[in-house]
Amino acid sequence: MIAIDVEEENKEIVRKYRQLLRRAKPFLKEGDSRLIRKAFNTSMEAHHGMRRKSGEPYIFHPLAVAKICVDEIGLGTTSIVAALLHDVVEDTEWTIPDIERDFGKKIARIIDGLTKISGVFEHGSSQQAENFRKMLLTLSEDVRVILVKLADRLHNMRTLDSMPVNKQYKIASETIFLYAPLAHRLGLYAIKSEMEDLYLRYTENEVYAEIVKKVDITKDVRNRFIKSFIRPLQKELNEHGFDYIIKGRPKSIYSIWNKMKKQNIPVEEVYDLFAIRIIVDTSLENEKAMCWLVYSIVTDYYKPNPDRLRDWISTPKANGYESLHTTVMAKNGQWVEVQIRSKRMDEIAEKGYAAHWKYKDNINSHESGLEQWISKVRDMLEQNDSSALEFVDDFRGNLFHEEVFAFTPKGDLKTLPHGATALDFAFDIHTEVGARCIGAKVNQKLVPINYTLKNGDQVEILTSSKQKPNEDWLRFVVSSKAKAKIKDELKEGKKFIAEEGREIALRKLKQLKIEPTNETFDRLRAYFNVNTQFDLFFKVGQGLIDTKDLKGFKDFKPATPIKSRPSTNISDAKSFEKEIVKLKSNDILLIGEDMDVVDYKLSKCCNPIPGDNVFGYVTVNEGIKIHRTTCPNAPELLANHGHRVVKAKWASQHESSFLSGLKIIGTDRVGLINDVTSIISDELKVNMRSMSIDTDSGIFEGEIMLYVNDTRHLDLLITKLEKVEGVVKVSRFDYNE
């Protein structure tokens, strides 16, 4: 056991606390230092004797979160106090009323939003989703709850090394699924990029390490290139008397990996590994003119790509981001992205919401895109009565995409999610306009309600008092506001029908002399094979269940007792651990905390093979399903249903064969196919299931389905095939059976 030097630890705690105060000093008002001191002492006392998984004192964590709030988000005293106290209610004897008594209502509200919900959850619900919704509900009162949570999550990601692998996957997936997009939406680009990079580090460690290594190798060459690229620009900017700085910004590891995946190319072929950023220090009135003048200077020296000009100064992004982006051709034939912005714009781009707030009084009084977004979230939270999982889905789908800009007939600008339709536009104007929408005129032309809007469209909504929403409308909209309003309208109609159906069912049961108890209704559900009592009454009201059918029910006895909710012995990972049964088999996938050999199914969405990094997911009806950690569904499963996830890992090579897919690209020649198949069948004794080859103008592309033992076997096969003359590239691809 490692000896703990308490005195040294205490010195380190004091050092970290003093460092926090020094960073906060520029904006502290009278009495702020005392309040921060009080919060620090409370946190020290509450967490006394507690340690993190790494073995360090727990107080290190709240101090680090508070420092991120100050340094990386630019928050003030209230957020520092909330950060120091954020785990006190969840992990100690302290309660929200205690916090309110000592620190006031504002701090108590933030801490409440940051405290996870405890207790029993309904079947089919998700604790993570409920916690996320609870945190967002506090957004209605104070956006700082989200910002402190992002600081907390960033520090957790930075210290993920000490957690077990399955917890690393769960926390990293939750981060990429919810928190990184949320940081992006609040304009915290540096935090978003670091979260994405850390996600990759813990889920695809080998790929991450390879990209880091290759980016480091090219660092010197890159720096020399940047110097020669900016030299003529500096000369010209100096002559114009600009007060500016130029930075070379490397592309994040995650975005390089994303590009490699999307374009199926190696890291060497990702051309835009960095961007040049020119930041001009100028007054608010001159910002736009100065940025366009810099653009003019850049394009005098380097030819721009006309399709790659992005003007987010005239029309800022919904998260407040303002910048001018262009991609230009350097003298060596390489494309370079150039970002041009003012000092104010750069601070908003780096620190997002907090910086936006700082400059708010200096900018015109119009509500910014970021404030509009936050008020949309508030509307969504107030209207939403769907399950937490549906809510999280809506939240992600609606708020983390790019935007589309459209105008009303009077010229008012409306910002909607990418893919929004005329119907989304109608609901954005007003619920009644949306509910009565029959079509629209876009740029004076008549279009249907499901017309997808394009940037710059001018939209006039056409309505009719006879129009009513129907189920199909949910397929025609992408915004949460429209979805929520349509569901509300449909529910009202359904409720009326279900209420009528209930009255009909009660009258019939009375005639049949059957007591209308909950047990009776559960037996009725089983008899008519419907999920809920509401569905039962709705079907009766619609006439889909005839009252004559109720006569046959009188003598019905279910084969098994019916419960009001479906139940299963294995509902989550913990109950699975209790129910685990050891099987005498030669299988080599070890599952659970004790790494037992148990029965499982390989998921069809990612088709794992031995050697892949995998996890087990306890399903409701199909036992344990094994997914690759890179499975497209992994982030959602791990983020929303972490309680159902169990450890799983391959123990050793096995003689079983697993189906995998290989894509081969190359230049066609006589005998090439023969060389490829002989390596697969003769040399490595691999069985092929299918092979499809397509040739066009001397280039061939083939897909081969084959059986391999494990990832090592597959890697060996790829290496051998890449040595065949004419083969340019061999890669594994995901397929769905």
CB 359 within 8 A of CB 342: no
CATH code for position 318: 3.30.460.10
For 84, counting Cβ atoms within 10 Å of its Cβ (0-12 exposed, 13-18 middle, 19+ buried), the class is: buried
> Which residues sit opposite 353 in a β-bridge?
none
How far is C-alpha 401 from the geometric centre of its chain's CA atoms?
11
Residue 60 has pLDDT above 50, yes or no: yes
Say if strands 335-342 and 614-618 run parallel, antiparallel, or are unpaired. unpaired
Residue 131 has pLDDT above 60, yes or no: yes
Q: Quick one: 237 and 296 in the same domain? A: yes
**pTM score of the predicted model:** 0.64
Q: For position 585, what pLDDT does the model report?
A: 36
Q: Which of 324, 278, 283 is nearest to 304 (CA)?
A: 324
Which DSSP string do the residues of 543-596 spell out, in sequence order? TSS-TTHHHHHTT---SS---SS---S--SHHHHHHH-----S---EEETTTTE
- DSSP for residue 643: G
CB 198 within 8 A of CB 175: yes
Q: Quick one: 595 and 714 in the same domain? A: no
CB 355 within 8 A of CB 331: no
Q: For position 599, what pLDDT does the model report?
A: 67
Pick the last residue of a domain from 476, 507, 537.
Answer: 476
CATH code for position 467: 3.10.20.30
Mean pLDDT, to the nearest integer, of 283-302? 92
Residue 33 has pLDDT above 50, yes or no: yes
Q: Quick one: 497 and 462 in the same domain? A: no
Flag whether 378 is in a domain: no
Which two three-digit tokens encode residue 337? 């992205």
Higher pLDDT, 120 or 177: 177
Q: Quick one: 228 and 160 in the same domain? A: no
Flag whether 233 is in a domain: yes
Q: Quick one: 179 and 237 in the same domain? A: no
Flag whether 542 is in a domain: yes
616-639 tens-digit pLDDT: 888 877 778 888 888 888 888 887
Q: Which of 443, 400, 474 is nearest to 183 (CA)?
A: 400
CATH code for position 108: 1.10.3210.10
Flag whether 507 is in a domain: yes
Q: Please tell me the distance from the alpha carbon of residue 140 to that of residue 375, in angstroms, as a whole number.
A: 8
378-396 tens-digit pLDDT: 666 655 555 666 666 666 6
Q: Please tell me the distance from the alpha carbon of residue 656 to that of residue 326, in angstroms, as a whole number.
A: 53
With residues binned 3-state (H G I as helix, E B as strand, rest as coil), the percentages for the chain, rounded to 5, are 50, 15, 30
C-alpha distances in Å from residue 564, one per residue of 521, 561, 665: 9, 10, 56
Mean pLDDT, to the nearest integer, of 236-257? 88
Q: Which of 163, 4, 155, 12 is nearest to 70 (CA)?
A: 155
Q: Quick one: 10 and 143 in the same domain? A: yes
Mean pLDDT, to the nearest integer, of 110-132? 64
Q: For position 350, what pLDDT does the model report?
A: 77
456-461: long-range pairs with CB below 8 Å, 24+: 456/405, 456/406, 456/407, 457/406, 457/407, 458/406, 458/407, 458/408, 458/409, 459/406, 459/407, 459/408, 459/409, 459/414, 459/422, 459/425, 460/408, 460/409, 461/422, 461/425, 461/426, 461/429, 461/433, 461/437
How far is C-alpha 387 from the geometric centre of its chain's CA atoms?
18
Flag whether 341 is in a domain: yes
Q: Quick one: 604 and 645 in the same domain? A: yes
Q: For position 324, what pLDDT does the model report?
A: 94
Higher pLDDT, 288 or 733: 288
Q: For position 363, what pLDDT does the model report?
A: 47
- Predicted confidence band of residue 196 (pLDDT cuts 50, 70, 90): very high
Flag whether 498 is in a domain: yes
Pick the last residue of a domain from 476, 499, 520.
Answer: 476
Domain that holds residue 39: 6-209
Q: Please tell me the distance from the alpha carbon of residue 336 to that of residue 371, in angstroms, as a whole number.
A: 33
Query: Which of 108-112, 508-512, 618-622 shows the highest mean pLDDT?
Result: 108-112
Residue 71 has pLDDT above 80, yes or no: yes
CA angle centred on 481, ends 468 and 416, rounded to 5°: 110
Pick the last residue of a domain from 602, 622, 650.
Answer: 650
Residues of the chain with pLDDT > 90, as a percent, come to 20
For 659, counting Cβ atoms within 10 Å of its Cβ (0-12 exposed, 13-18 middle, 19+ buried), the class is: middle
For 612, counting Cβ atoms within 10 Å of its Cβ (0-12 exposed, 13-18 middle, 19+ buried), the class is: buried
Mean pLDDT, to the nearest integer, of 442-452? 90
- Predicted confidence band of residue 560 (pLDDT cuts 50, 70, 90): very low
Q: Please tell me the distance from the alpha carbon of residue 361 to that of residue 712, in angstroms, as a whole number.
A: 61
N- to C-terminal Cα distance for the chain?
51
Torsion of CA 621, 626, 628, 631, to 10 degrees: -10
Q: Please tell me the distance from the alpha carbon of residue 72 to that of residue 355, in angstroms, as a whole number.
A: 11
663-721 tens-digit pLDDT: 888 887 777 777 787 777 766 666 777 777 777 777 878 888 887 777 777 888 888 88
Q: For position 151, what pLDDT does the model report?
A: 92
Q: Which of 562, 558, 549 is nearest to 508 (CA)?
A: 549
Q: Which residues are catalytic?
A: 90-91
CATH code for position 711: 3.30.70.260
Q: Quick one: 166 and 219 in the same domain? A: no
Q: Please tell me the distance from the alpha carbon of residue 81 to that of residue 65, in angstroms, as a whole number.
A: 10
Flag whether 337 is in a domain: yes
Q: For position 625, what pLDDT does the model report?
A: 87
Q: Please tell me the distance from the alpha carbon of residue 166 to that of residue 176, in angstroms, as a whole number.
A: 16
Flag whether 382 is in a domain: no
Mean pLDDT, to the nearest integer, of 67-89? 90
Neighbours of 579 (CB within 10 A): 12
Which two three-digit tokens encode residue 485? 């309003």
Q: Quick one: 169 and 155 in the same domain? A: yes
Neighbours of 256 (CB within 10 A): 21
Which two three-digit tokens encode residue 490? 């449909």
Query: Taking each helix axis from N to C terminus, what angle separates 189-203 and 253-263, rounded to the nearest 10 degrees?
Result: 60
- DSSP for residue 428: H
Mean pLDDT, to the nearest integer, of 277-304? 92
Q: Quick one: 30 and 165 in the same domain? A: yes
Torsion 259-263-264-267 (CA) sign: negative
Residue 307 has pLDDT above 70, yes or no: yes
The total of structural domains in the chain comes to: 6
Q: Quick one: 204 and 338 in the same domain? A: no
Q: Quick one: 249 and 347 in the same domain? A: yes
Q: For position 1, what pLDDT does the model report?
A: 42
